Structure 1
Amino acid sequence: MGTGTGPQMLAGLGRPRCSSGIPQDLGSSWCLPRVSGASLPPAGSLVGAQVTSETTQVPENSAVDIYCTAYKPSMSSPRIEWKFQKGTSLVLLYYGNELTEPYKNRVQFSSTKIHFSTVTREDTGKYICEVVEGSSQISKSEVNLIVQVPPSKPVAHVPTSATIGSKAVLRCTETDGSPPPTFRWYRDTMLMPSDPKTSLTFRNSSYTLDSTTGELTFEPVSSFDTGDYYCEASNNVGSPQKSDVVHMEANEVNVGGIVAAVVVLLMVLALIAFGIWFAYSRGFFSTPPARRSFTASPRTAARASSNRRPPSWCEAPPAPRTVVNVF
């Protein structure tokens, strides 16, 4: 493999790295070839670079300009690179004086900005512009792009019954909103405050409400917590969305039912024990005595055979006895 065209292994790290020092994707092992005349500064030269950062929010499916404030018109023949970071993934957007393949038909480049004709929720992330002038002078600007998406209908996860004195957790989830929505809870169409003690309606309840995660936790559950619950998601984009209504019933522990179940179980165990005792007393489980068997010696067998009288077919049957009655 020629030098400057493929990945090399960094000493001690054991993962591939582009010979230019910039991988195409942190989660992959391939990279763009080095472009002639576009060599990067030595490793570590980004340390101490001037960095600016800002946040831009635009609705989904709209156009947007992302500016590179690191670029200055006074710079002479600067080299400009754009990268897109989302989570742990880092992808080159503009490199070697050209747009990379995923962006060629969507983005227009100029020295001061990149222009998206339309953006989707997948374009939410950090856009990094690096400007290198000479061999060591580096400027960098970052733009956090948030593509605004209204929330979809949330789902309320509510138990249909809860035991008084126990802990119950209600959850509200929504997956489409950008930025992530905040959540509110309602009981019997009334908005639940974050602190129940501030409301005459909810002061007899004991709960905590996390508007970021959408969790409503009752600890402990009381009889006042019975009601119809639903949640609402909003992020200032579009209209707030409400979930379906779910009824939760707070019930006492059924002591009578538990006692009845224990009594029935004891009766069943007693019947089983009586049946086993009765079977033993009648010998159903006793082992029958083994039959005795022995083998006669040859002498004993011969003696028995000689003493046995052979049958005679000519022998007359014994005469019947005559009984004389004397009067």
Structure 2
Amino acid sequence: MAARGWLWLCLGAGLGSLVLGQTAVVETPENSTVNLPCKAIASSSGTPRRQEWKFHGDGSTVLFYHDNAFTDGYKDRAIFYPGEIHLKSVTRKDSGTYTCEVLSSDGKFSESQVELVVQVPPSKPKAQVPSVVTIGTKAVLKCVETDGNPRPTFKWFRDNIEMPADPQTSTLFKNSSYSLDEKTGVLAFEPATAFDAGDYYCEAVNKVGSPQKSDIVHMDTSKVNVGGIVAGVVVLLLLLGLVIFGVWFAYSRGYFSKGKE
């Protein structure tokens, strides 16, 4: 029978009612053991006749305990107790929602959920910083970190000085115009100024482990080279004139008509 087949049979036949338990949150460091409680047992009236567990994470749902047995991925690292599941040496992939479903002897269904957060310290982030930005244009710097759980917050430093979220609150940064999103790690200058040149690095922080710093990356600023742009346009026009002259000269000499004979 499908994972929830027995539930739908029960409810479809009018044999029981649905009782939802509260969602508990359990946090534990990576590689530790953890107990996931089944509060649905307490909500169930009568002796539990059947109990199943499923896991939802990374956009998919897996039934890992049913018919009094664990599925292959859990056989060697989980222990079943009527009131809880014991997991050994959890990893970051175990973070997600665990649902305990109970069918009692009197035909009533109840379920409860546990949100498991496997704590992982942040790894060394990468500072994505452009080497040169043009003064007066937008410049976007990104701090990238993919391991930390809970997701870290981010700080940015220029020339070893922490940048405040609002540059107007600091005498050192009030000449800059930027926004800093501590949740995403995005630092955006709108627009960039000559003052914004310097050595940049970012830092990832969560409540697990120590803060991690990226490598230092230097960013220069440059003015718009109006003279160079004008010179480039002039050269392009000269080349275009030479091409037009060459085509006209070829026609005037009859080179194209001779080729057709």
- Report if the CA contact (8 A) 2:157-2:163 is conserved: yes
Q: By how many angstroms is 1:168 displaced?
A: 1.2
Q: In the alignment, is residue 156 of structure 1 matched against residue 127 of structure 2?
A: yes
2:90 to 119, 143, 158: 119
Q: By how many angstroms is 1:45 displaced?
A: 8.0
* In 2: Cα distance, 1:157 partner to 1:223 partner: 19
Q: By how many angstroms is 1:48 displaced?
A: 4.5
- Output the amino acid matched with 1:84: F
Report which stretch shifted further, 72-81 or 195-204.
72-81
* In 1: Cα distance, 2:44 partner to 2:185 partner: 51
* In 2: Cα distance, 1:287 partner to 1:73 partner: 98
* In 1: Cα distance, 2:17 partner to 2:175 partner: 58
- Output the amino acid matched with 1:218: F
**Structure-2-length-normalised TM-score:** 0.88
Higher relative contact order (CA 8 A, sep 6+): 2
2:19 to 37, 46, 49: 49
Q: By how many angstroms is 1:116 displaced?
A: 1.3
Q: By how many angstroms is 1:193 displaced?
A: 0.8
Partner of 1:141: 112
Q: By how many angstroms is 1:278 displaced?
A: 4.8
What is the percent sequence identity of the aligned residues?
Answer: 53
Rate the CA distance shift 1:68–1:287 in 2: closer, same or farther, 3 A. Answer: closer
Q: By how many angstroms is 1:171 displaced?
A: 0.9
Indicate the SS of the match to 1:72: helix
- Report if the CA contact (8 A) 1:130-1:139 is conserved: yes
Partner of 1:21: 4
Q: By how many angstroms is 1:188 displaced?
A: 0.9
2:69 to 65, 73, 98: 98
Q: By how many angstroms is 1:273 displaced?
A: 4.1
Any residues of structure 2 matched to 1:172-321 within 5 Å, and which?
172-279=143-250, 284=255, 287=258
Rate the CA distance shift 1:272–1:46 in 2: closer, same or farther, 3 A. Answer: farther
- Report if the CA contact (8 A) 1:41-1:135 is conserved: no
* 1:163-189, Cα deviation, whole Å (9 max, x unpaired): 111111111111111111111111111
- Report if the CA contact (8 A) 2:44-2:108 is conserved: no
* In 2: Cα distance, 1:124 partner to 1:53 partner: 14
Higher-helix-fraction structure: 2
Any residues of structure 2 matched to 1:66-105 within 5 Å, and which?
66-72=36-42, 75-78=45-48, 79-105=50-76
- Report if the CA contact (8 A) 1:65-1:116 is conserved: yes
* 1:108-146, Cα deviation, whole Å (9 max, x unpaired): 111111111211111111111122223542332211101
Higher Rg of the two aligned structures: 1
* 1:192-240, Cα deviation, whole Å (9 max, x unpaired): 1111111111111111111111111111111111111111111111111
Structure 2: gaps of 5 or more residues:
none
Report which stretch shifted further, 63-72 or 194-203.
63-72
Rate the CA distance shift 1:182–1:286 in 2: closer, same or farther, 3 A. Answer: same
Indicate the SS of the match to 1:122: helix
Higher-strand-fraction structure: 2
Structure 1: gaps of 5 or more residues:
5-17, 23-33, 291-327
Q: By how many angstroms is 1:150 displaced?
A: 1.0
Q: What value does the CA root-mean-square deviation take over the aligned residues?
A: 2.7
Rate the CA distance shift 1:269–1:82 in 2: closer, same or farther, 3 A. Answer: closer
Q: By how many angstroms is 1:82 displaced?
A: 1.3
* In 1: Cα distance, 2:218 partner to 2:133 partner: 11
How many positions carry a matched residue from both structures?
Answer: 258
